[in-house]
Chains A and B, each alone.
Chain A
Amino acid sequence: MPIALEEILETIRMTEVEHFDIRTVTMGISLLDCRSDDLKRMKTNIYDKIMRTAAEHVATARKVESEYGISIANKRISITPMAIVADGHYPEDFIDLAKTIDRAGDELGVDYIGGFSALVQKGFTMGDRSLIKAIPETLASTKHICSSVNVASTKAGINMDAVKMMGETVKLTAEKTADRDAIGCAKLVVFANVPEDNPFIAGAFHGVSEPDVTINVGISGPGVILRAVKEAPADLDFSQLGERIKNMAFKITRAGEFIGKKVAAMQSVPYGIVDISLAPTPLPGDSVADILKAMGLEDVGATGTTAALALLNDSVKRGGLMASSHVGGMSGAFIPVSEDEGMIHAAQKGHITLEKLEAMTSVCSVGIDMAAIPGSTPASVISGLIADECAIGMTNNKTTAVRIIPVPGKEAGDMVDYGGLLGAAPIMPISNLNNSIFVDRGGRLPPPTKGINN
């Protein structure tokens, strides 16, 4: 059946008016074959492998953008968790390695490189400890490197020592980048049940079970879904509303998968997955919050917000799963504060709070994401928040995460502006009640019985 004029115009409206784009085409590169006990040699191995493997990544993505008329916002790289690659080295060595990788990223013209990561849900290796120690300085002294640490899983429970350590690491990172409103914290995320093929930053890394090289894709289409919901009459029931979202999700996922496969094939690299998360941008109309509002809420934060997000999340999955046989990564709706215009406004007015965002975590893709809090917040409070989010993830067998920014010198009600896709964040109030005895207990918080599912 030939393509109808209406279908072509719909596609063009999506890309030109509703900001539909491919958020990221992420090339995952295994660095396991670059290891060496000689730091200099390992730096050369890693630099050479990244430069060799991703040499055409940006150029290929640009070519595909031009040929198919769908823009690819970010070209990224993810690497094997550095704690595994560089285990046996000291924290200073990790910083050194990160700088080398950053230079490769600069020369290749990629936006971000994810994978300065450690998986410590059950305990630490020496490499894990060294990497975590190196995080603040690494994020302060590099441009493209993003860091993530997985501290909990449904199988292993929560590593409370790691939770405490990460609260302190977030604080240190904020202090190290205080001159840039703690932007280091925007590149650091703490996870429970982290997926190994996630193309989105800051949590992207190339899992050890992945092939040598692969291409994963993340789409961004809140604007498209927003139109589908906005055009729905007020008396349309939820099944039909879900149906509309599903249809749109199908189309954008197909586009994402198509583009990903092209970029992969042109570089002779196996295609991995499409992550069907709805990723908002700070552009007007490209907002997940606006979709929830369009369902009939005065603002996000109203009672009903969590239910609205659950419907959105599920409908997107239904459409996306039909569209692609390899869905992976996070594949839920992102609810970052600073990166979503509707969220920013709601947070400014005090309509959305950290407590409500925590509740929404249970039905979204990650959780507390790009939320700014007062710089005076103690590390133990941040650790407590991480523990709460991990508990939701662990118990509900889903990915959850915390990417929080304690901005030095700022108080609730102030604003920080990072520009670009990171957007602007109002400083949100957070409970400062003392939890230090709880956080200091340490050890492993046992997993739920549902983790034993064999």
Chain B
Amino acid sequence: MADLNEQEIRRLVEEAVQQLGANVSGDAVSQVVQEAAAKINAPANTSAPLPQQPGVQQSRIIVTAFGKNRRGILAGLTGVLAESGCDILDLSQKLLQEFFTTMLLVDISESSLPFEEIKTKVTAKGEALDLKVIIQHEAIFNAMHRV
């Protein structure tokens, strides 16, 4: 019953008592509740619905990198992403004098690695190239910049 919160458990117990009548024994309630909880947990085991925004996929991340321009920066970053099985959907970059800024929109749904690992790998590669790399899920930008 690990995925049920306290309120859900209480609601289940209330429901069970209602169905079984008030004079039922504690064991019987416990059995009905456990059965019901197993049913709830069995099918999807989705850990609560996350607030979804239309058009936003949870699997898309945005990689932003800043630093002094030099050869191989983009190749380095995209190389790590490709190795990790990520798909680059969009890319834009700006060069202000010596200063390089790039933004990559990346789909990580096909990657075998979890978000944290991809983040660690790309950030480490960025550091090796003297870049500051920031990686965030796309959803935060939609929340802040779209009405």
Chain A contacts to B: CB under 8 angstroms: 1-3, 5, 7-12, 16, 52-53, 66-70, 211-213, 251-252, 254-255, 257-259, 261-262, 265-269
Contact = CB atoms under 8 A, between A and B. Distances in A.
B103 A8 contact: yes
Given A69-B134, A268-B47, A5 B146 contact: no
Per DSSP, are chain A's interface residues mostly helix, strand or loop, or mixed? helix
Contact of A1 (B3, B94, B146): B146
Given A67-B137, A69-B135, A254-B143, A211 B7 contact: yes
Interface string B96-133: 00000101010000000001100100000000000000
Contact of A68 (B6, B7, B103, B136): B136
A2 B90 contact: yes
A68 B139 contact: yes
Contact of A213 (B7, B103, B138): B7
B141 A3 contact: yes
A89 to B, nearest CB: 24
Nearest to A1: B146
Nearest to A70: B140
B51 interface: yes
B139 to A, nearest CB: 7
Contacts, number: 87
A3 B142 contact: yes
Q: Interface on chain B toward A: helix, strand, loop, or mixed SS?
A: mixed
B71 interface: no
B69 interface: no
Contacts of B145: 3, 7, 10-11, 251
A7 B143 contact: no
B136 A69 contact: yes
Given A211-B7, A213-B6, A255-B143, A262 B64 contact: no
Contacts of A7: 141, 144-145
Contacts of B143: 254-255, 257-258
A69 B61 CA distance: 11
Contacts of A1: 146
Given A66-B116, A212-B7, A265 B62 contact: no
Pairs A-B, 10 closest by C-beta atoms:
A69-B136, A258-B143, A68-B140, A268-B5, A3-B141, A268-B48, A261-B51, A7-B145, A251-B144, A265-B48
